[in-house]
Structure 1
Amino acid sequence: MKAGQVAQVRVKGTGHMAISAKDQAILNQASAILLREMKEHSTALTSPWLVKDFLRYRLELVEHEVFSVVFLDAQHRVIEFSEIFRGTIDSATVHPREVVKETLRHNAAAVILAHNHPSGVAEPSDADRRITDRLKSALELIDVRILDHMVVGQDQITSFAERGLI
């Protein structure tokens, strides 16, 4: 988004509201600060709420679908957060080969998958379940665990782990 442009964002119960490029930049800075703090202080992601807070800042207001991975070491400390694939308003193509390549590049022992649903609905689709299964199979070949897959919607984040889907 260019300076001065305004993104349309859905807010629960109010239809759409405008969020400026400046406000989006502030949210991006907040998530960057959280990521830096987690990395610098070797914060272990031991609870879903820690991950949800970070992902909310990073993905909730993005107007296109983004598939991301949080790469973790053996103690589940953050190595890196990467937006691996960018899609359209309702889908993103995810290639397991690229996720495996990035996982190896970061020497990760575990990962947390995440993507947003710009529609605001955080309910996992059949396609979300299928790609999670494919990624789980691919990453198991290199002894990397998927700890969770989170779908970020408007005011809600659905955790595959909490639902017993991982």
Structure 2
Amino acid sequence: MQNLHQINEPVAIHQVLEQAASILESRIRGSEMFTNPEAVKNFLRFKLAAREREVFGVLLLDSQHRYIHFSELFQGTIDAAAVYPREVVKEVLQFNAAAVVLAHNHPSGVAEPSRADIQLTNRLRDALELIDVRVLDHIVVGDTCVSFADRGLI
């Protein structure tokens, strides 16, 4: 019976975190909360930390950096996800976002950005710059959160 409990536990944790993120999401719509980098990290931790596969998403913000929507755009394997700049641009345009925070998780728990993460961020920043959308940060979620902005990578 204990093995069944262990199998269900990650699902339950994921569901609890998703519910927490949904509650937070409903309270912050249109608020100033997402101008605080720690609030952004906490929100993304709730959304992505418990995932067993790599998930790439984008936090869509208005011109005052207020929350519009969080979109999970790509899901991959345990250590990679294919991300297409065209699809990111389409999502940003659909929600009429003026700024974004890119985010993805590392299911291993090690949030250290890879060279591929840095290259992808630069490609997305260049693509979004063409349509006058600012990339404010890219957050990698693991056991902790690593901010590209904090590290001077954006």
Q: TM-score range by the shorter chain?
A: over 0.9
Shift of 1:24: 2.1
Higher strand proportion (structure 1 or 2): 1
**Aligned in 2, Cα 1:71/1:5: closer, same or farther, shift over 3 Å?**
farther
Structure-2 residue corresponding to 1:102: 91
User: What SS is found at the alignment partner of 1:91?
Assistant: coil
> C-alpha offsets along residues 124-152 of structure 1, whole Å, 9 cap, x if unaligned?
00000000000000000000000000000
Matched, 1:26 2:16: yes
d(CA) in 1 for partners of 2:40 and 2:17?
A: 16
Matched, 1:112 2:97: no
Higher helix proportion (structure 1 or 2): 2
Structure 1: gaps (5+ residues) = 8-17
Which residue among 130, 142, 153 is the counterpart of 2:119?
130
**Count of aligned pairs:** 151
**Aligned in 2, Cα 1:110/1:19: closer, same or farther, shift over 3 Å?**
same
Structure-1 residue corresponding to 2:134: 145
Structure 2: gaps (5+ residues) = none
d(CA) in 2 for partners of 1:86 and 1:128?
A: 15
Residues 57 and 70, structure 2, Cα contact 8 Å, conserved in 1:
yes
Matched, 1:159 2:153: no
> C-alpha offsets along residues 41-61 of structure 1, whole Å, 9 cap, x if unaligned?
523422210101111111111
TM-score normalised to the size of structure 1?
A: 0.86
TM-score normalised to the size of structure 2?
A: 0.93
Stretch moving more, 51-60 or 98-107:
51-60
User: What SS is found at the alignment partner of 1:45?
Assistant: helix
Q: What does 1:61-76 align with in structure 2 at a 5 Å threshold? A: 61-76=50-65
User: What SS is found at the alignment partner of 2:64?
Assistant: coil
What RMSD over aligned residues (CA atoms) do the two structures have, in Å?
1.6
Shift of 1:27: 1.4
d(CA) in 1 for partners of 2:5 and 2:104?
A: 24
d(CA) in 1 for partners of 2:34 and 2:118?
A: 23
